[in-house]
Amino acid sequence: GDSVTQMEGPVTLSEEAFLTINCTYTATGYPSLFWYVQYPGEGLQLLLKATKADDKGSNKGFEATYRKETTSFHLEKGSVQVSDSAVYFCALGDAGNNRKLIWGLGTSLAVNP
Amino acid sequence: EPEVTQTPSHQVTQMGQEVILRCVPISNHLYFYWYRQILGQKVEFLVSFYNNEISEKSEIFDDQFSVERPDGSNFTLKIRSTKLEDSAMYFCASSTGPAGELFFGEGSRLTVL
């Protein structure tokens, strides 16, 4: 079945460092891909998404490109801030149907000043 | 900003007891969901609900589980006779449509002793 694999954490970075969190997937068909973020004490929030191959999702300085050839959707940010400390989840859903998202394990990011 | 709210934030119960987790979705949303995350594991889809009926459910969502929208605002998840393995964080979500963004609550942590 469909699945998502993301790099294990925790990831600890200094402020202004470059961030990459790897995410790869297996799926039949053409899924939509998502990154969700969970800040401490809060719910899961959609960070960005891409619905087809070569799409780039971006938000709050974060980017991820839907790479069908490598079945990847890596999350990147050029310069992280302390406020980016959170848990990041990669997820996939059937195109046009987000009812049943399939999730990665989550990667905890801690950014130190 | 409208948000999904969940109560209780944490519930401790004895094995075999019934538990009801409550959610107030965003008011103009029509699709409702429950997900759960067992500690150290992936977030898992449980059930989606639309037009007062279940539209999709996972194999986890067995006869011990039920969902209900008892009035115009609440969406509940009932676990009839809790087991130790039901201990998890339960997330409620809502969306405007099947392909719409899911908005999640902060989660209800259930601990079964």
Give every residue of chain A whose pLDDT is below 50, as ranges. Answer: none
Tell me what the mean pLDDT of segment B20-45 comes to: 94
B7 chain-A contacts, CB cut-off 8 A: none
Tell me what the mean pLDDT of segment B72-101 comes to: 92
CA–CA gap between residue A15 and residue A81 (Å, rounded): 5
Nearest to B4 among A41, A43, A89 (CB): A43
Dump the DSSP string for chain B.
Answer: ----EEE-SEEEE-TT--EEEEEE--TT--EEEEEEE-TTS-EEEEEEEETTEEEEE-TT--TTEEEE--SSS-EEEEESS--GGG-EEEEEEEESSTTSPPEE---EEEEE-
pLDDT cut 70: percent of chain A above it: 96
Is residue B1 predicted with pLDDT exceeding 90? no
Average pLDDT along chain B = 93
CA–CA gap between residue A48 and residue A37 (Å, rounded): 9
Q: Identify the residue with better confidence: A67 or B1.
A: A67
> Given an 8 Å threshold on Cβ–Cβ distance, is A98 in contact with B101?
yes
Q: Which two tokens stand for residue B74?
A: 């609440």
Question: What is the structure's pLDDT at B81?
Answer: 95
